[in-house]
Amino acid sequence: MERGEFFALLGPSGCGKTTTLRMIGGFEEVTAGTVYLGGADVTELPPFKRNVNTVFQNYALFPHLDVYENIAFGLRRRRVPEGEVRAQVKFMLKLVDLPGYEKRRPNQLSGGQQQRVALARALINSPQVLLLDEPLGALDLKLRKQMQVELKRIQSEIGITFIFVTHDQEEAMTMSDRIAVMREGRIEQLGRPEELYERPASSFVAGFLGVSNLLDGEVVGRHGELVDVQLGDGTLVRAPAAASNGDTHVRVGVRPEKLRVTSSHTEAPRSVEDTNALEGTVLDASYIGVSTQYIVQTADGHKLTVYAQNLETSGASEALADGQTVQLTWRPQHTFVIARTDRDVDATPQYEEGQVPS
């Protein structure tokens, strides 16, 4: 993890992300390996000797203290002069956008305001690293989205390293400079949000970080910067050659928003050289506001998810009907390629016929 970055540990329950965070903070014993903080080995140091603070999901504010005293608590323990305490608390209140709330008690604050107080209390001690253990989990959806933006703003202003634990891929992608996707105690892939989303390294990452359509195939040829992949039904699709890494048995993927869905009679199939194409039948169409979500079943039984942007004012009335034969097209450059491994078995969710993924 680099100094001054917003780093996310992302993964499902039980993958080890919170345990990793607790090892960094000194709350969990390290059985193998070393924890370095700013180049110094802190593996054997207790939490109070590490220049690290933690914000938990329940905030852990002192109910008998007002906002001012909650934020000032760490400075008072260090016997910082009162004038400096006042100046730093004032700065923190401005930073978290809570000026004028000094005399309020925690029970007089909303969830989002309590979260900001907890953040200010942790930051006022100027830690090298701030650990955040799913701090937005108790907030409602609207407030959670607001706090995602606020957390990133605050981190950018003060330049402290934030390590953020979450199972929410949208949170991780919104705020993080880099993300470590974890699975069964290991880092499955590490990189920038756009890198992980556009070029996932495994079926697990592709399925966990958003929705992916995955199809097994075999590389049967190469044409410049593209490879030909033959799917199980014999259909040829093209994908970037660099993404295949020389593997023969592969899994090709495309994100739902990269697919274009049209009535099969609307236009003739295009050449495989410039556009990949599959035919299928609409199983379900769901209007979800900004787009319509389609579940399309191909001839060999694969169910693909498509997000078609709602550009017409009539919205859902333009939707393709259940049972309608359609054509799915997408650019070869929007295809990602994953090597097929035993570890990929059951790595992505499967949907029963007629079931729409949430």
Say yes or no: domain 211-344 is CATH 2.40.50.140: yes
The structure tokens 């925690």 sit at: 106
Q: Considering only CA atoms, give the Rg of the chain.
A: 25
What the block records as the tokens of 124 is: 């006022």
Tell me how far apart the alpha carbons of residues 237 and 173 are, in angstroms, rounded to a whole number. 29
Q: Confirm if 184 and 16 have CB atoms less than 8 A apart.
A: yes
Instruction: Specify the CATH number of the domain 6-194.
Output: 3.40.50.300
Write down the pLDDT at residue 25. 94
Amino acid, res. 76:
R
Q: Confirm if 122 and 54 have CB atoms less than 8 A apart.
A: yes
Fold equal for 6-194 and 211-344: no
Instruction: Give per-residue pLDDT as tens, 175-211.
Output: 999 999 999 999 999 999 999 999 999 999 999 998 9
Under 8 Å CB-to-CB from 121, ≥6 apart: which residues?
Answer: 61, 70, 71, 73, 74
Strand duo 36-37 + 52-55: pairing: unpaired
Write down the pLDDT at residue 228. 93
Tell me how far apart the alpha carbons of residues 28 and 18 are, in angstroms, rounded to a whole number. 10
**Could you tell me the CA-to-CA distances from 63 to 7, 66, 67, 107, 296 in Å, in that order?**
31, 8, 9, 7, 53
Q: Confirm if 223 and 207 have CB atoms less than 8 A apart.
A: no
Tell me how far apart the alpha carbons of residues 171 and 145 are, in angstroms, rounded to a whole number. 8
Amino acid, res. 354:
G
Of the candidates 233, 278, 229, 224, the residue with the CA atom closest to the CA atom of residue 252: 229
Q: In order along the chain (358 residues), what is the average pLDDT of each group of 10 residues?
A: 94 93 94 92 93 85 94 92 94 92 93 90 92 84 86 91 93 95 95 96 92 94 90 91 82 95 67 79 91 92 92 63 92 92 52 36
Helices (H) and strands (E) in the chain, counts: 9, 18
How do the domains of the chain map onto residue ranges?
6-194, 211-344
Q: Confirm if 288 and 316 have CB atoms less than 8 A apart.
A: no
Cα dihedral across residues 18, 23, 24, 26: positive or negative: positive
Under 8 Å CB-to-CB from 304, ≥6 apart: which residues?
Answer: 213, 256, 259, 278, 280, 295, 296, 297, 298, 328
Question: What backbone torsions phi and psi does residue 54 show, to the nearest 5 degrees?
Answer: -130, 140
**Left, alpha or beta for 159 (phi > 0: left; psi -120 to 50: alpha)?**
left
Question: What backbone torsions phi and psi does residue 95 show, to the nearest 5 degrees?
Answer: -60, -40
